Amino acid sequence: MKVYQRCSPVSFSTRPLKTEIRDNWRVVLEYENEGSGPYLIDLSHLPKWDVQGKNLSEITFQERAIPENPGQSELGDGFLINRMNRTQASLWHLNGENPEIPNIPAFTDVTESGVLLALIGREVFSIAEKLTSLDFSDPEKEAPFLLQGPFSHIPCQVVLSDRETPALLWTCSRGYGRDMAESVLAAGEEWGIRPAGENVFTGWFQKLSD
């Protein structure tokens, strides 16, 4: 029986040092010369679900409710829930696990149709200013929060996860993956941005969750 190899549309010129196969994805755990940050990390292999329904407030996952207001996000138990609008939310699994999707019509697995990237480091805001007019510095917004709009001229969902250890996580259509990665690396060149593997993200995520 032939195994279907799943692959991300994002590729970096930097040589991978450690990889593993997970759920038929080739996941890079570490790249050569990752440096000390800022980092651009491809997380497209992590499960992403779309959630739609007229009564989103009645839908829960692992006993967590979907945030009430558009733009609100909730981070916990290894996943991030983002309220997009009155009838739609997104759910990203960030701890590397691949749970079974609930058997109800509200949930749709969109993992392979979208890219998921993370930008981590103290220079996050400076790099983002080159790529978007979305305001991640708004003091009225409590992180994590979701903004929707153009990022590098591409429609995206973008989440600022934390202000103390800043990171942006964003998703867009799969077809934009390669160009998106190239534009972010170009924007961050003056700060020494480097591609990094999933291990860097895992370490950051564990510190954030502690």
pLDDT digits (tens, 9 = 90+) for 168-200: 999 999 999 999 999 999 999 999 999 999 999
pTM above 0.85, yes or no: yes
Q: How many domains does the chain have?
A: 1
Decide if 68 contacts 58 (C-beta within 8 A). Answer: no
* Tens digits of residue pLDDT in 9-26: 998 999 999 999 998 999
In 3D, which of 23, 93, 105, 96 has the Cα closest to residue 62? 93
Quick: pLDDT tens for 60-116: 888 888 999 999 999 878 899 999 999 999 999 998 888 899 888 999 999 999 999
For residue 92, give its domain range: 1-210
CATH code where residue 154 lies? 3.30.1360.120
